[in-house]
Homo-oligomer: A and B are copies of this chain.
Amino acid sequence: MTQEHLNQVAAAVNAVKAKGKINHFYLIACGGSKAFFGPAQYIFDMETEIPATIYSSNEFVHRMPKALGKDSVVLTCSHSGNTPETVKACELAREKGATTIAFSHLVDSPLWKAGEFDVHYNTKDEADDSNGRDAMLYAVVFGILNAIQPNEKYERAIKCVDNLPKLFAANKEKYAARAQEFGEKYKRATILYTMASGANYDVAYSFAICLMMEMQWINSSAIHSGEYFHGPFEITDYDVPFIIIKGLDECRPLDERAHAFCKKFSKEITLIDAEEFDMDGVCDDLKGYFCPLVAGVVLRDYADTLADHRGHPMSVRRYMWRMEY
């Protein structure tokens, strides 16, 4: 991580540390950026009694939860930094006196200006993955936790962040052949369900709504592994494809149960079992928290090969950025 990035993290963390009281963490973004906050919400939920809630930006703007105020910490994210709902949410939160931290790829973007503390991140294509989005978020999240309730666990977690580029590269390589196989096998799929729980649920959500619906125009939906048995499992049939993520956190038994049932009736299951991930350099008690980041990178490659086999580039849009909405 560059000194500039370290400084940005330190400024955000120190601002949170300086607060006398924190009543609520709000994690505010849209679509893929909203899903990006999923693992952070899980971590806060497991590590602190301070509530942490995710809202889609425009719901937050209109809803303005009653607890939002000067004791709140609001994290926002927009890749371009110009998602209007997210900029507005950040502005409103700041007006209410909340401490605002904005993550964006674009320095000096509208979101960058709206947030009191700004954190830049590199994209995956750029040279230095150690300043990537996941790394910057986890540095801030574990930095905040360590500031409000110091613990050597959080110090170890902050060190693990440095291993992310290596981890991503190793797992991309490990899953490359399986990604190819997936792309070829499902190139004619008209629907594809994803399933996960716990820290990984939003990886499944992001795959469904961004990678499939948005970027491939394939019908999709993320099913929570626990909810599966209370409705969705009735859709299971021999020809209905599911991607199932088995995570490494406390909720893994939910994924195991869903997989055990689903494989009895569907012949089209793609299993991503995180126990197979190369998690080198991540302490055992932190693997559950780092797992979704690796799962996200692996699944992106699955989508990329699918796009390749379908001749429908991931960059194609029919509405997004092409018209007013």
Give me the interface of A with B, judged by CB distance under 8 Å.
23-24, 30-34, 42, 45-51, 53, 56-59, 62-67, 83, 85, 191, 197-198, 208-210, 213-215, 217-221, 223-224, 226-227, 229-236, 250-251, 253-254, 257, 261, 265, 317-320, 325
Contact = CB atoms under 8 A, between A and B. Distances in A.
Among the interface residues A213, A220, A234, which one has the most CB atoms of the partner chain B within 10 A?
Answer: A234
B317 A234 contact: yes
A49 B64 CA distance: 11
Contact of A250 (B31, B63, B219, B231): B63
B67 A51 contact: yes
Given A62-B251, A215-B234, 16 more contacts: A31-B229, A45-B63, A46-B65, A47-B66, A51-B53, A58-B253, A59-B251, A63-B251, A213-B235, A214-B230, A214-B232, A217-B235, A233-B319, A233-B320, A261-B319, A265-B319
Contact of A219 (B23, B45, B219): B219
A176 to B, nearest CB: 26
Nearest to A51: B51
30 contacts: A30-B226, A31-B227, A42-B63, A45-B63, A46-B63, A48-B66, A48-B67, A53-B53, A56-B224, A56-B227, A59-B197, A59-B198, A59-B254, A62-B198, A62-B251, A62-B254, A63-B198, A63-B250, A208-B221, A209-B230, A209-B231, A213-B232, A213-B235, A219-B221, A219-B235, A229-B325, A233-B320, A233-B325, A234-B318, A236-B319
Contacts of A210: 230-231
A262 B207 CA distance: 22
B229 A57 contact: no
Given A210-B231, A231-B209, A250 B318 contact: no
Contacts of A224: 56, 59
Contacts of A325: 229, 233, 257, 261
